[in-house]
Structure 1
């Protein structure tokens, strides 16, 4: 990749405060911690090993229990995985087994051999799922483009256990995007048009669905029963609205930047829409959303208001 200011501009990636993509490519970050905890629990809970002397089973992520068959005495211990990375072979992953004071060496040896093998097999399944399930629908970079390093520490003890991933886990994902520019004239004042976008009751009327607005910089919003969500980045009363904006079916954690400018004209208001960072595959849906579900519905609401007035 060329350095900024040099080389082929198609391969330049510039960091922008507003999150705007340069030449329609960028990296996004996704936190894998919650997903990892669920997946590791799914793969690890229930792992059991047994021999003639006793058996050990991971019954929950809080503990590992072992029972010596002859005496029936239960023992508890600790399994710790200090470093797990998709860059290394799972068979090389370090698995440390220890136990609490007292008897139970037989069980410790059982977990260090057969137990370790099963734990490593489960961790291999986890890393495969990380590259497929967690990133489904995304385009992952090659190792030449980015290095992904995931550290997972597992502690299974009597009262508490920790499954930790580096937080946030940054997964480089390149999403091809486009920019949209649309203009529409409305037979109303800038004050009234601005209110239709910023008053919750009016938003619910033109969208014919529930909406939640936190009308302040950094405030969140939901429209169309949660199908559209985002955050207000800038609010200039009766002049401009800037939003982080996404549809529910977009790639996870990906937002476009939507700018609405309210421009007074002779007896009308021109609404100028500029949108950057729309996934290429969602371009037509985005145009339809604004033209049909916003512009035309708002004009219908304005006509009803005029008739009632």
Structure 2
């Protein structure tokens, strides 16, 4: 609906961020290229951060936008090896020309054999993305410009009926009745959260850490309240019930998809958490990529802080057998009050208390520890 704005003279502004994200999702995801038996395609819009506005002043409609876009791609080599990675575009702006876009391309679990796919993305796929981005601004104006301007010769007030004047009567002192309608499911505004961390272990070991109840007990510092097993439909409740969920997809050792929620979220509301394990055989690390779709707005930082503190750090410390003193984090929604130590060399721990100023804790982790090294 167009606001009352005679002759389209006054400044009118409209936020089009939601539409922009849907547009990029529709027009970028699915772009694909193939050359010499090597293929690549855009699979997912991971994020779009920034502002997208359409404005009108003195009869002229303009766009003002500046966003950062992150995409996920996949592909195959000549030898049918699966490859995946990310394409980051630091700036998509209203004043950016087609040849000015910058693309940051990274393969997950990079290796020499996967380089042809990365090269194809850089030379061919990026060119197609450039073309798609050039149509963004015109489409933005076409879609939202009509909401900001009156058509020439139109009186925006002509469609309203004349006001009816009622004579004033004695005020009714009876309070007006109010009606409250309660729906079964409250509407929750949500967003997507992502995280990425590296572990010095295999994808298989890391996958087992999220599916083996003994490993879960170890890094959560307590037995699960519920664990139906690592199977589709298997439910779990860990961290004293502060995290609950249900397994949706299990693809050992590459991927886990599950329903996942924090206790303080709206009752019955779950996000969809996708965990991908990409093993890099060159330097012996596994990259864990995590995305949550459906996180309640306002819970983004809480979700990432808890994931980093109670999952990522705890897993590294537990299975790396690192000497550690954890301090409770009172600003997080659930807190472990127990201080604990994990060490493979108990004389080192005793020496810390006997000679706290002389104990050398600068010894590299792998020279002190044994077992799985994260």
TM-score, normalised on structure 2? 0.38
Higher RCO (C-alpha under 8 Å, 6+ residues apart):
1
TM-score, normalised on structure 1? 0.45
